[in-house]
Structure 1
């Protein structure tokens, strides 16, 4: 063994050799041609200079470049690199001497450099010098010794050796034991130079005073700076089985993942017994473990290893506490507590509970209205139990957290039932586990209707037509309106808006079915009175308050041929005879007169045609079909009768057609006296007949009036006498006839007052006739008045205006005889 002074001397010699070794190697290299040797310390950085090869080999740098100098071989050629352009050898990779050579000393590697033209081969040997870059280390952190208290003084106890991979002075040089009262340290070396330490007991141990001794063993090298390593020496003082096993922990804490596989190792308990031999042999067991823990875990009786024997569910058991007993062979024991925490795994999906849900909600609710309240729970814990709730982003809803684990589903916009009457809402709850689990809940929400839409007619206006004289109650047309609301709010009723047509309320013309919207005629229409009906129909829904809209309805009255033609000229009078004069010298086509007629109907129903129905001489006259002109169709002769009577029929173009007839008297003569006798005779006869008829009717009326008057008087007298007799019968007074003053006998010769009632009868269309006509069609008009002295007035070119709107429109052939 070496003492401290010897160690210092060797350390100084090592430093001197490190300083002079390059110089000695250079001298040796110069002597040996083609072979050089370098020495470098380990752990040099990449690119560090190893040596100037060109200079040491006596070569020019240009020779190295022209000879393409390079390293061709070598056992550790990757550690060095040749810079041919500079002629130097540098470190290409960091060198660790301990890795390169281990415990071999000295440590070196060789490589060959080749040049061409001419070929030269040079060997380079690089020695790697040790650097104190490692500290001595012990294999274990603690050296445990069990020494009986009966051990004698001077007993030796070998300690674990330290290891230092450095070499020479940088290797392990010395051991030092921490100061204590019981042991001293002795150092020894093996034949191979490995140093080790031995503790020698110098003072007896007393277990009762010091059952455990803790010392520190320090191992130091000789490098600069010096490095060292430390190990704890734990000494247990043994007794003769008077010590029970002792657990190294009063409580063991461990964690296990739920759903861990059967056989999973959880923890290992450890107890120590200061006794030796069989007295120190310890067995482990659970003490009074009941319930789930006894089925879930087991302990190895010799090793104290605790493993899983059944499935573990965090949601049922979050922690297990068990008592472990360690017992030696002598019957002594110790107890410890084992606490096993169960680590949650994300094996439970969230659970959604709908606490409150309004399946029907009104469309007019404000945004932010609560639709549903729900609770979400997750049996997992911490991150695995953190829940996030969501719904489809396209739905008009949002989720807001109100209390812990409670959420509100709120409306986000205003609803419109007519656009979307219902929603299918999917609520998704997702936890935050590494592999997240999720649950969905489905809600079906219906939107109840609010009367926010008025009825809309299918057309902007309605147009229909109806024939006049159709029967009342006829269906004319049907209006229809659509309401996009629902149920009662969409129930549409139809009404007529109050209005007047030609001074009469619209309801006197048409009616409407409130349910179907069918418009019916209330009465028969007359085209000549009213040609169209324009009124407004209102469609009203059944909401509260109701909404409505209006539409204009126009009904056109179509004409029917219900009016015959009206003859305006020639005028038919009862008191005088009108005759057209035709001279006997009249040529063919002579215009005698023109029949003028109108028809109050319209269209083709008012197209008139004229035909000659009868004539005294049909070969003499003709009537224009369209214009009603009466013309001669041959030359008038002396043989033609003076009095010509023509019957013209006027027909319209309706289906069926209606007609009127007119009698035209024509006088064929050159002078008035010639015609006078013809028309005068006939006039007197007619007047006589008319007067006779009048007197007969008047006499009949007077006789009837007198008979009725007498009958009334007689009945009145009878009634009066009967009443008087009744009064006298009930009265006790004597009967005294009483006559009121100024009593006159009804049977006297007094004159009865005659009252005449006159009724004027007019045609239905007479009140509308306001036609005026200008010049007469005939050039010569002969008027015969029977009450005159027989004078005949001749009117030529006289303008005649008809001022009799109430004159009859139809003249029969019997009016003029």
Structure 2
């Protein structure tokens, strides 16, 4: 057994002169005392070096050394003194600090330190008792270096004078065993025993004193202990020879007993000692004092030298010592003294709050921890005794934690519910320990628990759907908008990365993966596409990551980047269509109409017309909005038979663009004057009746619309034929493939869209729908002439147009020319 081994080690240090019987008795007592279920007891000498092995705890308790680290084993002291440590690699109990038996236990016969071997997972505790064996590490010391004795010369032979004992903090054989007196002829030294068995020296007069022969004697006394090696201490005895003082003070009791509550106020009277002396005068005056007072008791207890009152002089604490034994001396004026024993019992009161020690704690707890997860191990104890030392521990009820106690004075803090960092990121748990004293005392300790994040929340966009507007022709890299997603998690779990989800539009926009800012990757053309849709995914940095998606509707906004295109009259090199007008045409007669389109939309596609140059000024006028050319006056004989007009067509953009159309008009004799083309029959009537003008304008627009519908329907039926009006052989010709790919206006679109071609076009020579279709020869010629113009002016639909989703807006009153 480890106890036997350690006792044998202690005996090697003890005095080798002890007899065999004493050794065997000591060994038997130690063996019987160390047998305890669930505990191991070691005897170890004091003052051993740090790192010395006390014993192998793992072997003695039947534990595996490999389990010590796995189960987080450690040594826990009862109280605050941690003098030992556990070497988990070998299972040995080592000395970690200097152990001084006299400092720990003063002169108590048994000095025991209580420890716990604590295994956390699962929780298990073993008791370890360390019995500190005394070694001879202190020399005997006299309280004063010089002892004063006043003896009358008439002192009878054999008179005994008690001397102050030497004090040695060691115990047993290591304490003072004998005294020696220096060689002299008048005095001898003998030992006497007190009531409690303590031996003290007495000076015995062996030869009569003669003051006249020698008035003073100086002796040396040595106190020798029984340790090995032997230690000793010396003091001087100065004896003055006086005249008659033949009575010594006498105490009324040999042993005084008293009690005092701990923490009594300074000045509290504990007891009063009484000694009498039959002498008179100076020899009858008694002075009281303590023979020997330790450093700890020096400031706690004091005695009145004249009255013998013993009072409290400092803080008296039951936990420091439950009782005190003091030697009191009564000395008269002649130097004679007597001694008594004073025993003071300290009464325990509930003056110590419970102590809360966190032995193990996890500062961070994952929010997905299951109920029952261990958070901390708490040790609760109270230095008081009895009911004042019984302690209960509790935490608030409104927390997802609970306390469980499976080992005395130890509590385990466990989770008692589900944790959610997003609702409560941390907890300050107040642990309250309350004793059973009256009145009860309590201690409080606050434990801070931080809930660590788990990736249990997906990012959330501030909007499920966004709308963005991009102005066409903006350079690559133009900022579009910023999307924003939030994640309730923390740290890397809340770090959001953005990316475009639908790959078919990934070439249109790019997104900053960190900020969510969108930028263009190409130039956009409103005339090709007005709307497309992308999906953006926000993914957090958790493992595994969580994501969410939002939709962004992107609308392309129109810019005035297309100039008007004149469809009629055809503007090509070497060919200008001529319009015929009767010479007899009156004022206001409709001669022809300039037809132009603009690929832009909205205000940018609103066209206005005006004549900037004419063969004969003030002969013709053009309507500002419709482009109709009418006569301003009747023709005269001196008017040229061929008139040329240059019409400027301007759009309505912020920075307007324009085109010019050259109109050639021939005056023809014999042509009939059609009343339908006459606008200003009565000038006075025009000025007087505004309603009539409005009706005429509405009728004209309606007629043109019907004419357009009829023409389209007619061209569908007669698509492959050639039709001529016999009476309008000179009407202008619309080239079959002059027009752009399409003239369809959708929603916010302009007048040019859709990639379809037709060989038939509508003329504007008459509101009735005067149509003329050119021959193949003419058509081919015009196609060749207009090819370059179309290539540079009219935009083509891009190859990736199919990847764009065009959202059709509400129907607009736009003309569709096919």
Shorter-chain TM-score range? 0.3 to 0.5
> What TM-score results when the alignment is normalised by the length of structure 1?
0.45
> What TM-score results when the alignment is normalised by the length of structure 2?
0.45
**Larger C-alpha radius of gyration, 1 or 2?**
1
